[in-house]
């Protein structure tokens, strides 16, 4: 049997591709579970110490230690993750280097940007449950107080829990009155956050479009001076999250949809409402929102939405 450079290069490409898959899988499933320092509720997805620390680190990671030294990385994470990041970097480097040997397989300028499954891809956006027929909620008043949202974001940075109900709410007897008050508090929280986002990166009309959502996450969590590649990845993740939050599929996030999210987050750790969103609940919720091909969070959001506002 004769030696074939073409067969060899194809085999090596498969090897590089395997490394690529391992690094991608590891980053998307593990990096989002680490601490973050972004400023928004979605900072676990976009913050420099959260998901994007899984993609962009200062040292050692996807491309650290490879031909892409100083580029992307797993950042300041545990040693085992660092090693897997190195594996990804080696696989990516191998993939590109061997691609040049095989004219039938053009070298990719950036495998991370084109490889299926990176972050949570466009291909997974159709895995959500069917949208409701509910009309868009009334727009939030431009004079809506945003103090609660601002406090919440500062607490996120400081890794503190946030109570969005009155301190004496927990002392009320279980029943319709207590549940009704929790709904009012959730509504106010949702309105506060929608208007805060809208004034930060939107047109202050009281609802959030996809473009405003993308702009807000970039401005708040990775910075407007971030590279185009980083912004592109942030935008892909924004699309996944936005599609999950947009309950009625009208292309906007209104205050009812945002309130439903906070209601879900409030009960993520023990299944009970206590009016407090903990860091643990925040990280868990953000992780679930990024899983574009998993409808677990979609079902929770729908259940909360239907309980709060019905299904017209």
pLDDT digits (tens, 9 = 90+) for 89-121: 555 555 455 455 444 433 333 332 333 333 433
- Could you report the per-residue pLDDT of 221-277, keeping only the tens digit for each? 899 999 999 999 999 999 999 999 999 999 999 999 999 999 999 999 888 899 999
196 has pLDDT over 90: yes
Task: Tell me what pLDDT residue 2 has.
Answer: 46
Quote the CA–CA distance of 165 and 140 in Å, as a whole number: 20
Residue 50 has pLDDT above 50, yes or no: no
- Spell out a b/e string for 112-140, using b for 16 or more CB atoms within 10 Å of the CB, else e: beebeebbbbeebbebbeeebebebbebb
Q: Are strands 208-209 and 276-277 parallel, antiparallel or unpaired?
A: unpaired
Spatial distance between the Cα atoms of 89 and 98, rounded to a whole number of angstroms: 14
Which two three-digit tokens encode residue 248? 């009625």
Q: Look at residue 23 and tell me whether its pLDDT is greater than 50.
A: no
d(CA 44, CA 280): 11
> Domain map of the chain by residue range?
5-117, 127-309
Please tell me which residue, 89 or 55, carries the higher pLDDT value: 89
pTM: 0.67
Q: Regarding predicted confidence, which is higher, 283 or 64?
A: 283
């Amino acid at each position: 049997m004769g030696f074939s450079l073409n067969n060899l290069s194809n085999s090596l490409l498969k090897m590089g591709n395997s490394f690529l898959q391992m690094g991608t899988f590891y980053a998307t499933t593990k990096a989002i579970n680490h601490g973050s320092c972004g400023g928004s509720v979605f900072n676990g997805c976009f913050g420099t110490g959260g998901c994007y620390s899984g993609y962009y680190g200062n040292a050692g990671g996807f491309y650290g230690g490879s031909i892409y030294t100083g580029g992307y990385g797993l950042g300041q994470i545990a040693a085992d993750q660092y090693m897997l990041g190195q594996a990804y970097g080696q696989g990516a480097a191998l993939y590109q280097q061997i691609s040049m040997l095989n004219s039938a397989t053009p070298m990719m300028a950036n495998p991370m940007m084109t490889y299926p499954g990176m972050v949570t891809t466009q291909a997974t956006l159709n895995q959500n449950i069917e949208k409701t027929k509910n009309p868009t909620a009334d727009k939030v008043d431009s004079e809506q107080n945003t103090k609660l949202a601002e406090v919440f974001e500062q607490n996120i940075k400081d890794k503190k829990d946030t109570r969005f109900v009155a301190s004496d709410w927990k002392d009320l007897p279980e029943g319709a009155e207590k549940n009704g008050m929790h709904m009012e508090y959730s509504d106010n929280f949702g309105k506060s956050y929608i208007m805060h986002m809208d004034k930060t990166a939107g047109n202050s009309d009281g609802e959030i479009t996809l473009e405003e959502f993308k702009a807000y996450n970039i401005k708040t969590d990775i910075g407007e001076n971030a590279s185009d590649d980083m912004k592109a990845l942030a935008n892909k993740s924004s699309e996944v999250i936005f599609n999950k939050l947009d309950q009625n599929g009208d292309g906007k996030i209104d205050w009812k949809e945002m309130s439903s999210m906070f209601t879900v987050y409030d009960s993520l750790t023990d299944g009970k409402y206590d009016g407090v969103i903990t860091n643990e609940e925040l990280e868990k919720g953000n992780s679930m929102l990024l899983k574009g091909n998993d409808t677990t969070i979609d079902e929770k959001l729908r259940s909360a939405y239907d309980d709060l506002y019905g299904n017209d």
